[in-house]
Structure 1
């Protein structure tokens, strides 16, 4: 079993047990768990944020998840900016998704980061790397990221803070599934819209260059 398979096989009960075991360390385990999301993409956002809320309560769970996730994204962004010329990152920059992300960031920096940070499913690592490689201003990235993640994390924390509700009323799970499906659908639509606008602008620029 590979690392990615192991991570995706982690259950809610295992995470709850792990957080309870290290609860004497205060908020650190909860913050670390969401911090790692930026470096271990297979970690399921809904699961780790929901478990934090179940262990620490709605508000503290939300706060610890927000600190960890935003901190991880900011560190990734700064590291990418620091070593932007490294051959490994140059190869990353040539990947279609990253290249498109860089184009979107250059033209719609704040909107791109903010809107895609609103959803619990999406290309989180690509967003951080593309923003760093494209030279987005740190302040703009931080504000867009912090705002978008706050909304997303609060919603997921609210869903996960009282898991017993779903055992008592399984119909509630339908709403959770709908939330995930709608998030995925809307995030894909937003990506497609940015891609369409980017392609149109590139075409217009080529036509202008050709005329000159």
Structure 2
């Protein structure tokens, strides 16, 4: 995470805080809507929305609104992909060799890897939503992984957001929080690569062994 990226995130955080203040009369709706939209537009920074919600609404409400919005968005994306998975565009994605490898791996491992990936702020949750929708993973498994995984991930970010003003006054805490965010990001990326590598190895063993019989 470069200094430029951190500066852009800080500016966006201030913008979101201002937006939440301007629409304060709408109650929790803006706080729920922003994380919900992120599920459909994954280039938006979920961690900024969660931190802003917690700074604006407080830790518990900020966490709850972010969790409801993000979880609802992910689950809706999953059900839309599951419903329209046989459409022409999605069929092309579904028939992609790499996607087929990932979906088969998700089908065989189910809840565990999805839960672990969703626990980390910088994991590719949008990819998880789509792949799970294209796979034969049960709806119950996916919903449970989303609700539990995102609760861990969002609360960890919400805690930072709720104390953002205190952090600003205490340089040491600011450094600690920045390092923690960086560690989350690095570990999330490492875990993603590790799981994908393990998936590829297990699939090759499966195709070269019992799966080839």
TM-score (norm 2): 0.88
4+ residue runs of structure 1 moved beyond 6 angstroms?
none
Contact 1:121-1:180 within 8 A present in 2 as well: no
| 2:5 match | none
Shift in CA distance, 104/183, structure 1 to aligned 2, threshold 3 Å: farther
Cα separation, 1, equivalents of 2:212 and 2:85: 34
**Aligned Cα RMSD in Å?**
2.2
Stretches of structure 2 lacking an aligned partner (at least 5 in a row):
1-7
Contact 2:123-2:192 within 8 A present in 1 as well: no
Matched positions, count:
206
| 1:151 match | 152
1:112 Cα deviation from its structure 2 partner: 1.7
Shift in CA distance, 112/164, structure 1 to aligned 2, threshold 3 Å: same
| 2:204 match | 203
Stretches of structure 1 lacking an aligned partner (at least 5 in a row):
1-6
1:94 Cα deviation from its structure 2 partner: 4.8
Cα separation, 1, equivalents of 2:95 and 2:77: 18
The answer to whether 1:170 aligns with 2:164 is no
Contact 2:115-2:149 within 8 A present in 1 as well: yes
**Partner deviation per Cα, 1:57-109 (whole Å, 9 max, x = no partner):** 11011000000000000000000000011121123335576444313311211
| 2:3 match | none
The answer to whether 1:81 aligns with 2:82 is yes
1:92-171 matched pairs, under 5 angstroms: 92-94=93-95, 98-171=99-172
Greater shift, 130-139 or 186-195, is seen at: 186-195
| 2:19 match | 18
1:33 Cα deviation from its structure 2 partner: 0.6
TM-score (norm 1): 0.88
Cα separation, 2, equivalents of 1:165 and 1:39: 33
Q: Specify the SS of the correspondent of 2:191.
A: helix
